[in-house]
Amino acid sequence: MTDAEPTASSPDESVARETWALLQRISLSQRPRFMAIVREFDLVPPHLIALQALETPLPMGELAKLLGCDSSNVTWLTDRLESRGLVERRAAEHDRRVKLLWLTPKGRRLRQRIEARLSEPPPLIEALSEGDQRTLRDILRRAAAHLDAGKATRSLVTSRTGR
């Protein structure tokens, strides 16, 4: 066998795959609960994603990229959120053709209410001992730190390249 030939997966890779599979299984098991909470507020998941993404004003085109959808879908989403007083469209100072989405105070309050409901742990997490909950939280915090580092890197690249 040469160095270029694939080898069996390492034990670490196997543990990582199993860990990821378990996280997916747990997350996906909560989809009905997530959908019910979003519906309580007369929204659909893309509306919630939009509300969460609007920590700062965002061009509609950027929201379309974030949602992985066509700009026309963002127009429909924005129309619905705007009719409820949750977001506002404003022309960007640098280019009036670009429409920025701004979260209104009403939108911030609704987002906080939804996030409070979503942050209530499901029974399968509450069933863990307090020690296990702490251990799981600490491990996930370390994993999430990589997300935050990635956002900072992407933000820095975006500000330097303008893309």
Strands (E), 5-154: 58-59, 87-91, 99-103
pLDDT at residue 11, as a whole number: 62
pLDDT at residue 8, as a whole number: 53
Helix (H) or strand (E) holding 104: none
pLDDT at residue 88, as a whole number: 95
d(CA 136, CA 12): 18
pLDDT at residue 153, as a whole number: 47
pLDDT at residue 160, as a whole number: 44
Per CATH, domain 29-120 is 3.40.50.920: no
User: With left for phi above 0 and alpha for psi between -120 and 50, is residue 98 left, alpha or beta?
Assistant: beta
pLDDT at residue 161, as a whole number: 43
d(CA 57, CA 53): 9
pLDDT at residue 71, as a whole number: 86
d(CA 95, CA 100): 10
d(CA 9, CA 99): 48
pLDDT at residue 9, as a whole number: 55
Q: DSSP label at 98?
A: S
pLDDT tens sequence for the chain (163 residues): 444 444 555 666 799 999 999 999 999 999 999 999 999 999 999 999 999 999 999 999 999 999 999 888 999 999 999 999 999 999 888 888 888 999 999 999 999 999 999 999 999 999 999 999 999 999 999 999 998 776 654 544 444 445 4
SS3 (DSSP) at 103: strand
pLDDT at residue 98, as a whole number: 86
Reading the block at residue 16, the tokens are 């990582």
